[in-house]
Copies of this chain bind each other. A is one copy, B any other.
Amino acid sequence: MTVTYVESPTPSFLFDLDGTLIDSVYQHVIAWRAALSDIGIDLSVWRIHRRIGMSGGLFVSALLRETGRSLSKADIDQLQQAHATQYRAQMDSVTPLPGSRELLGFLTGAGVPWAIATSGYAATARPALGLLGLPEETPMVTRDLVRHAKPDPDLFLAAAALLEIEPRHAFVVGDSVWDLLAARRAGALGVGLMSGGYGREELERAGAYRVYADPAEMLARIDELGVRADELGVRRSLEVLGDGAFTRE
């Protein structure tokens, strides 16, 4: 007896940026803390950390709800400006996460489509391309390009559209529960990375299909995600890795 069925294609990957590809979450946390403190809002730092990765608007609304304060549209704009300024002041200490260049290089070499989808604005997010050794034309969706940010699915839906793939054939890779919730609303599976400072259990409970420490561990276990080393020109990409083109400097 033979069974005929439609095989699922090799998945594509939609990556969050902060805490997933670059080690920038704690700098964002400290920048938000300083920006909020400037306008007299003193919030515990862990509460800010737990909101990082949400859309800036939802982030501020959620924090205000916790403090019982309200801010005008102008105040919120000023807050986001102050955060951007504070973050830029610390950007020198931001580095790629272990394995992120290698992972992206591996996928490129294997012909697996991937894109970046971040809640950050282009002004703060685009410099990360240089940090990751990626060309300017890397498929990337920033906050400016969509109506709602995470946990709404817009960023990942737009990134999938950019790659001309269906979200249900993509893995969303992110470090926060907001990425994983947005993944589910986009109809994609989520992969959690612990490199943004969330615990494994939080990510699992938000629906992660798998949780890894960081991009390096995800690359080492990429076969668990349906990318096979014996197909798709992966041998070629391993050769590329071998010549140092994608290894860390």
Q: Does A118 contact B (CB under 8 A)?
A: no
Q: Does A214 contact B (CB under 8 A)?
A: yes
Q: Which of A169-199 contact B (CB under 8 A)?
A: 194-199
Q: Among A25, A49, A199, A201, which residue has the most Cβ atoms of chain B within 10 A?
A: A199
Q: Which of A37-45, A124-132, A134-142, A231-239 forms part of the interface with chain B?
A: A37-45
| In the complex, chain B residues whose CB is within 8 Å of the CB of A207 | none
Q: Does A104 contact B (CB under 8 A)?
A: no
| In the complex, chain B residues whose CB is within 8 Å of the CB of A25 | 45-46
Main secondary structure of the interface of A (DSSP, over half): helix
Q: What is the distance, in angstroms, from A218's C-beta to the closest C-beta of chain B?
A: 14
Contact A44 B98 (CB under 8 A): yes
| In the complex, chain B residues whose CB is within 8 Å of the CB of A42 | 95
Q: Does A8 contact B (CB under 8 A)?
A: no
| In the complex, chain B residues whose CB is within 8 Å of the CB of A197 | 45-46, 49, 197
Q: How large is the interface on A (under 10, 10 to 19, 20 to 34, 35 or more residues)?
A: 20 to 34
Contact B26 A214 (CB under 8 A): no
Q: Does A29 contact B (CB under 8 A)?
A: yes
Of B33, B195, B196, B201, the contact of A93 (CB 8 Å cutoff): B33
What CA separation (Å) do A30 and B25 show in the bound complex?
11
Against B, the Cβ 8 Å flags (1 = close, 0 = not) of A1-40 are: 0000000000000000001000101100110011001000
The residue of chain B having its C-beta at the shortest distance from the C-beta of A19 within the complex is B46
Contact B26 A45 (CB under 8 A): yes
Known: A23-B45, A33-B93. 12 other contacts (CB 8 A): A23-B44, A23-B46, A26-B29, A26-B33, A26-B45, A34-B93, A42-B95, A44-B214, A45-B197, A46-B197, A198-B199, A199-B201
Q: List 29 A-B contacts (CB under 8 A).
A: A23-B44, A23-B45, A23-B46, A25-B46, A26-B26, A26-B30, A26-B33, A26-B45, A26-B46, A26-B49, A30-B30, A33-B93, A34-B93, A37-B93, A42-B95, A44-B97, A44-B195, A44-B214, A46-B194, A46-B195, A46-B196, A49-B197, A197-B197, A198-B199, A199-B201, A199-B202, A200-B202, A201-B201, A201-B205
